[in-house]
Chain A
């Protein structure tokens, strides 16, 4: 609380004292309120009925809560569980959670983006699960169903802070109809960046078609990093953060920018689209309308954008016209860990609020939400890559694309560093891609990027070159 100016504290001392006594937390190894007969718990997620991620909200309200209450009743506990929906920009949702946690308030179970975990932990907002809820955490049988790499989403410095909801992977989507017109194969799988560019050159001959859409610039925000710059970076054998240092103007970073220069300088992409505030929406619509040849995206694109049933840019002939290929490394073997193909992943994590009044029951609720049964109910018939292997095995069989992601992409994938300055470094990288896409030289963009990153992470000592 050292941010508080003394005079303000003084003026409000009485009220503060009052609130602090109410929210003072217990501590100790035995979770408080373990044997309580009346409990109240709240869940919050960036989901809302009738709006953003409505299915997620419905699952919590209609499935999780009634069944959890029922299960508690069977144990003789009266549980009152409520859901606090949100449904805004992730940045704003994150801000609100941080403010809540900072004032020791907020919901007991919170759904967060995996990359927030580290910065929340560093800020003292989250505590390791076993510290909050005791031994039952490590004893939970669900852990064995969650692959180590996916558990990493909710792990920071080797401690578990939450249970991951699922994950995703990046691929290259392509339009088979356009490929046929350009004389390209229907089962395309590029093995190097050059092969992507070659395909782009062929597609350029088809009138009215933008050959390649690989997100660039700041208008697309994190989508530029996740669907473009970072998969390319790992494909060039680099990582944005490794061994305590952030990537500066390294060779892999230059390679990435060089690829952008070739796409947008070589007329293979639409540089203006990258600058438009609604550019990503537009790229979706253009792909759905058959005007884009190759587009780099996550499996979200397949599930929620061009889904013929309820996508936001429906493609009635998705299953027959849209192909997908692994994201290649710069050349075979040039990717991180010597890989031929690469991907980036992210995913949501459900964490526990360390200020929960009923930490033990909060974990019961959390683990209940991640039981196989609950996870299956959450999908409600749709396919998505969940964190549980047993569930994936069952549900992904019916969806070849997601099965492809789970089987072929996830073993190759990489994650972003969950640190507080990452968003700023990410923006610096996006700016570098913007500079190159609008015609500036790779050298210029790379050195501007390096300078920027040095400023963000506290000097050249924390930046690799």
Chain B
């Protein structure tokens, strides 16, 4: 009797196991379709000689790319974006890592309240209503038409969330390595560089990519602070590909969208293969 039930149970468990596997595959395929579907247009329209809003097999052409190359600002804007995004990401990662480490290892009274408060403030500063204060501030600091100004302002806005995320990573790394390193006389920065950073590297990479993606898409700050298209990043140039009546030039727009997206996509592939791209081992409590 009991053997029967056990066999029965085992069979049922096996069936359920198979069903669960099938369900899992079906679900993952649906997820894949959901996330890939909107991207189709980006894969077809740039190669279509008369792109429309519809996704269709293109009448293949590379003319759109040629037309885009005639645009004097398209390529330089991508380089500008790289400067702004790279500069911001470096500052955000470096400063946030230091701050997160300090906050994680040393007890500061009101630490969490401070972090939450800054996080909330960072949400207000990303809004439209702040543009006058931001502009005036940059003006007073002589940072108008300066890439540095854009980088600093964007860094200030991204730091709270970056510290918040990285602190969780830091909290998750055991302190025992640091203690023993200290016993062997390593300096604090050495400990930071050789012990802490390698452990939280995927976290740093993630925050770096997150910062790059944020800056890469930011229109308002560089638009207000930079003068002229020579320094303008791609986010700003993207908006110039409209006619005087505000109508989109789909040939240029689709092609530029693709070029504009490629660097961040490539960066992501590079970073994820090199450093790992997840909160691996991070944010554990």
Residues in chain A within 8 A of chain B (CB atoms) = 3-4, 12, 15-16, 18-19, 47-53, 84-89, 92, 95-96, 99, 103, 105, 278, 280-281, 284, 300, 304-305, 312
Q: Are A300 and B237 in contact (CB under 8 A)?
A: no
Q: Which of B232-261 contact A (CB under 8 A)?
A: 236-237, 239-249, 252
Contact A99 B72, CB 8 Å, known A51-B241, A281-B248: no
Q: Which of B106-136 contact A (CB under 8 A)?
A: 131-132, 135-136
B241 CB contacts on chain A under 8 angstroms: 51-52
A-B contact pairs, 17 of them (CB 8 A): A48-B73, A50-B74, A51-B71, A51-B73, A51-B240, A51-B241, A52-B241, A53-B244, A84-B227, A88-B236, A95-B131, A95-B224, A99-B131, A105-B139, A278-B53, A305-B245, A312-B249
- Alpha-carbon distance A414/B73, docked complex (angstroms): 39
- Alpha-carbon distance A281/B248, docked complex (angstroms): 8
Q: Which of B38-75 contact A (CB under 8 A)?
A: 53, 70-74
Q: Are A103 and B136 in contact (CB under 8 A)?
A: yes
- Top-8 shortest CB links A-B: A50-B71, A87-B240, A51-B240, A84-B228, A103-B139, A53-B244, A88-B239, A99-B135
* One of B140-148, B149-157, B164-172, B205-213 contacting the partner: B140-148
- Alpha-carbon distance A234/B239, docked complex (angstroms): 34
Distance in angstroms from A429 CB to nearest chain B CB is 19
Contact partner of A50 among B70, B140, B244, CB < 8 A?
A: B70
Closest to A82 in B: B228
User: Quick check: is B223 within 8 A (CB to CB) of the other chain?
Assistant: yes
Q: Are A50 and B236 in contact (CB under 8 A)?
A: no
Residues in chain B within 8 A of chain A (CB atoms) = 53, 70-74, 131-132, 135-137, 139-142, 144, 223-224, 227-229, 236-237, 239-249, 252
Closest to B67 in A: A50
Contact partner of B247 among A18, A19, A87, A281, CB < 8 A?
A: A281
Contact A85 B247, CB 8 Å, known A49-B73, A96-B223: no
Distance in angstroms from B190 CB to nearest chain A CB is 36
Closest to B132 in A: A99
- Alpha-carbon distance A16/B142, docked complex (angstroms): 9
A86 CB contacts on chain B under 8 angstroms: 229, 240
Closest to B241 in A: A51
Q: Are A16 and B247 in contact (CB under 8 A)?
A: no
Q: How many inter-chain residue pairs (CB < 8 Å) link A and B? A: 93
A95 CB contacts on chain B under 8 angstroms: 131, 224
- Alpha-carbon distance A60/B178, docked complex (angstroms): 63
Other than A50-B73, A50-B74, give 12 A-B pairs with Cβ distance below 8 A: A18-B142, A49-B72, A50-B71, A51-B249, A52-B244, A84-B228, A85-B229, A87-B242, A95-B224, A281-B247, A281-B248, A304-B243
Contact partner of B243 among A52, A88, A96, CB < 8 A?
A: A52
Q: Are A96 and B224 in contact (CB under 8 A)?
A: yes
Closest to A87 in B: B240
Closest to A281 in B: B247
Contact partner of A284 among B135, B224, B247, B252, CB < 8 A?
A: B247
Q: Are A312 and B140 in contact (CB under 8 A)?
A: no
- Alpha-carbon distance A51/B244, docked complex (angstroms): 9
- Alpha-carbon distance A12/B144, docked complex (angstroms): 16
Contact partner of A48 among B53, B132, B136, B240, CB < 8 A?
A: B240
- Alpha-carbon distance A48/B74, docked complex (angstroms): 11
Closest to B228 in A: A84
Closest to B144 in A: A105
Q: Are A51 and B136 in contact (CB under 8 A)?
A: no
Q: Are B243 and A312 in contact (CB under 8 A)?
A: yes
Q: Are B142 and A15 in contact (CB under 8 A)?
A: yes
Q: Are A88 and B240 in contact (CB under 8 A)?
A: yes
Q: Are B228 and A87 in contact (CB under 8 A)?
A: no
A18 CB contacts on chain B under 8 angstroms: 142
Contact partner of A52 among B137, B223, B242, CB < 8 A?
A: B242
Contact partner of A12 among B53, B141, B224, CB < 8 A?
A: B141
Q: Are B140 and A15 in contact (CB under 8 A)?
A: yes
Distance in angstroms from A227 CB to nearest chain B CB is 11
B237 CB contacts on chain A under 8 angstroms: 51
- Alpha-carbon distance A284/B248, docked complex (angstroms): 12
Distance in angstroms from B139 CB to nearest chain A CB is 4
- Alpha-carbon distance A191/B228, docked complex (angstroms): 49
Q: Are A85 and B228 in contact (CB under 8 A)?
A: yes
